Chain A
Amino acid sequence: MVNLDTLEKVELFKDLDDRRLSAVGECCTEVVFQRGESIFKAGEEAGNLWAVAEGKVRLEAAPGSILQENEVSESQVFGWPSLLRSPTYRFSASCAARSARLIRVDSRCLQGLFEKDPELGYRVMSGLLRVLGDRFHQLQEEVVKHRGQDMMNQW
């Protein structure tokens, strides 16, 4: 169980009332990682959604990717594939600060809450779509930039 003050700062849980926050808190555990420590690897089965309470996390793509790495800081979430039907992490995550305090959310537990309380599901999944959409647009911009440059160079 994670306290409500910490939980309400997480971007996906910002607008939830205390009753719903408490329910979500039951699915959460706090975990501390030290600099460089691995949180998960790309390709692993994604059982948890993660949020940063303190510190920073580095997300790294497979070698050769255009969008090589990304940083996630306080209140942001990562590990979004855990809430999809084929849950596999798309990036590797590691601690990028001296230490990072993270919230580990059991995705099955969270999805169980969504089934019982669809309004909670609607709010959280709307937030997740925004997070995922932002990351997608970032990656897409990079692809467009690279392809556009390649094409202009060919003119």
Chain B
Amino acid sequence: MTEKDRTMNADVFEGLGEAQLRHLAEGAREITCGKGERIFKEGDEATSLWIVKQGQVDLGFELPGRTAAEIHTLFTIPAGKAFGWSCFVPPHRYRLSAFCASSSCEALRLDREFLLGVFDKDPALGYRVMANLAEAVGERFKALQGWTTAVPYAQVKITVHLATCGIAAGAREVVNALVDEMAKEERPHIKMQTSGCIGKCSTEPNVTVQIEGEEPVIYQKMNGEKMRRVFQEHVLKGAALKEWVLA
């Protein structure tokens, strides 16, 4: 299996065999773009399915009279996930604009006509991909439905303190857990950042959760498991976990 075949291991290709992935890889084109660069525009003909290979892509809408950089993000697509599935849904128009949201983005582009040709020749492959795509859209539907029933979200900033002492104490595990949880939720109002030591080496790894309109909360002696709980309970539900808060 080549490097290119391996990058085909996206959520929509789950369950496919090596030969099938190789076949799909033959029609994939690699695209690289920089932060803020538009990949496609809302209303464009949807001719391709896209896979984020590296970085993050924002999907959102643009407002009249505003620049493209002021896109209002609805979804953030992390590496390994697909976007642009409107290419399979009439009238085959992208409904949102796509922009590179990280310092750089690498994506794979697969044209609809190529994919339909492959599916016709190998219906088992077509079935898996369509079932996986339905799964992905179903998940996004669930997220969108959740947003419409909840009160508007406050902006949330999560800071992992990553100085040498923090890294030595396991801050990378904390970052990985946080990235994982954020990818599952796809909520663009939650931002993550890293920063230096806060002068409390004995309590590292420290994490600060700052919810708009509330006092920042600093957590101490964090690990991956604790980070996941803080994300679920504090960030998503608003209930700080007092037992881990730095006194």
Residue ranges of A at the interface with B (Cβ–Cβ < 8 Å): 61-67, 80-81, 83-85, 90, 114, 118-119, 121-122, 125-126, 128-130, 132-137, 139-144, 147-148, 151-152
Contacts and interface: CB of A to CB of B under 8 A. Distances in A.
B138 A118 contact: no
User: B-side binding surface: helix, strand, loop or mixed?
Assistant: helix
Given A66-B148, A118-B127, A132-B137, 6 more contacts: A63-B149, A64-B149, A83-B131, A126-B126, A128-B134, A143-B148
Contacts of A90: 141-142, 145
A12 B228 CA distance: 40
B95 A137 contact: yes
B135 A136 contact: no
29 contacts: A61-B145, A64-B149, A65-B148, A65-B149, A81-B138, A83-B134, A84-B134, A84-B138, A114-B127, A114-B131, A118-B123, A118-B124, A121-B131, A122-B127, A125-B130, A125-B131, A125-B134, A126-B88, A129-B130, A129-B134, A130-B88, A130-B89, A133-B85, A134-B89, A139-B145, A140-B96, A140-B144, A141-B95, A142-B148
Given A122-B127, A132-B134, A151-B63, A143 B74 contact: yes
Contacts of A129: 85, 88-89, 130, 133-134, 137
Chain A, interface SS category: helix
Contacts of B74: 140, 143-144
Contacts of B144: 136, 139-140, 143
A13 to B, nearest CB: 15
B90 interface: yes
B226 interface: no
B72 A148 contact: yes
A108 to B, nearest CB: 14
Contacts of B61: 144, 147-148
A136 B141 contact: yes
Interface of B: 61, 63, 72, 74, 85-86, 88-90, 95-96, 119, 123-124, 126-127, 130-131, 133-135, 137-138, 140-142, 144-145, 147-149
Given A139-B141, A140-B144, A151-B63, A133 B131 contact: no
Nearest to A136: B141
Contacts of B63: 148, 151-152
B127 A132 contact: no
Nearest to B122: A118
B130 A126 contact: yes
Contacts of B148: 61, 64-67, 139, 142-143
